Structure 1
Amino acid sequence: MAGNTGTPGATVAGRMLALLGAFDAAHRALTLTELAQRSALPLTTAYRLVGELAEWGALTRRPSGEYVVGRRLWDLGLLAPVQSGLREVASPFMHDLYAATLATVHLAVRDGTRVLYVERLAGHASVPVVSQVGSRLPMHATGVGKVLLAYAPEEVRAAVFADLTRVTPYTITQPGRLRAQLRRVHREGYAETSEEMSLGAASLAVPVRTANGSVVAALGMVVPSLKGVRPRLVAGLQVAAQGIRRSFH
């Protein structure tokens, strides 16, 4: 169970962390009772601590009575050196891409077996885009996710391949096809999707490397179709990724 530290002698900080740890990708909104159960805390204790967390901004209470992670935690997370540094370095190159294509451009990192979107510029085209800053999506169904999966440790790939959920009728859930795509990322330097995460949307993504060559993020864009534009968009993404790499110190 997530955040289970409701043992005798647990500190106040430990109990608060247990409450925050109750949230995960499958439990984004929780009632007070659910928070108490998932953190193994007495309901009265959970009530008091959840109130303090909500007052500080770590949690937000919806009109329905459920609690979700608050904006203040996200703002705090952006101060982490990797994410804040990436966003600052990548920002001008993302704006250049957006200006040249008017497409949705996003920057993402791996968070366990999910892809975490840390920056996003919304495009003008009417394309269904499900990514938001702070959202976590399946790695196997997104362009940026496939790039990050291609360079992930073997244990991460094994965990992802064990749960290839079908998001749309076009999501690739056959392990052999997905492995072939990951090999292409290494060979050709980019990944693509076509209506795998949302119908009516295609995506392209390339790896973002640090100065020493390590892949730390993926840079991608979402467009209505890749027909006739793939080479130009891939080239633009790769130029931007190279610019980000040169800007790392």
Structure 2
Amino acid sequence: MEKILWELVQLVRQQSPLVHNITNYVVMNNTANALLAAGASPIMAHAKSEIQEMIGIAHSVVINIGTLDEYWSESMVMAAETAHSKGKPWVLDPVGAGATSFRDEVLHQLLPYQPTVIRGNASEIIALAKANTTVTKGVDSTAQSNEAVDAARSLVDQYKTIVCISGETDIILGNQQEIFIRNGHPLMTRVTGLGCSATALTGAFIGITEDKVSAVAAAMALIGIAGELAADESKGPGSLQVNLIDRLYTMTEQEFFNRLKIELK
């Protein structure tokens, strides 16, 4: 598995997949830069008049509901429907799921289009699956990733998707597959939008391979290891953000294998 993950990192750099993002405007710049540093090509577009054409040329689609409004939500549903109909892989980041009825309604409209990957924190995954009454605290998780495993499994079964529960340990669940990635650094939680960047990277990786579970694992490993390497040379969140982008760009095979902490079940 370790060898496969690094091969996928290299493949993204070689193929430069085009990733269409309808995402959180708080982090658009960071997300686009993370994609570029990893070797992918970002498109940040939400105009309904061009969504179908954009998705036609993109390798994958990322939908992040972080900063919803009525127009953007319609664009997201259109993008999900288009990706589904064209057979393009797409990622759903259900930011703040369970926090408001508006968010839950938008997610209710998006899920029938069977996202290839759902990536969120434990509270969001639990809320999305309606597994219990855990309350979402904005975009921060009030639950641990292992608490959301049953909720994630229900989503996998219902929507034929892959679920990535983000946290101190990233848990990736597919059909009969479980992967645990234990990379990352606590300082990463002090930079807004690194989770959104991880979701965007997931979009890049699922755009270049049919092995979608390994693609998700590669994306999570890449940003986690980049975060560790960046933290080693950073004084705080500001420098971490800059150094992480550099590490996505410069990471070597030896650094990847030396740091990778992965467990398969």
> TM-score, normalized by length of structure 2?
0.31
The structure having more radius of gyration, on CA atoms, is 1
Q: Which has the higher contact order (CA 8 A, sep 6+)?
A: 2
More helix by proportion, 1 or 2? 2
Q: Could you tell me the TM-score, scaled by structure 1's length?
A: 0.32
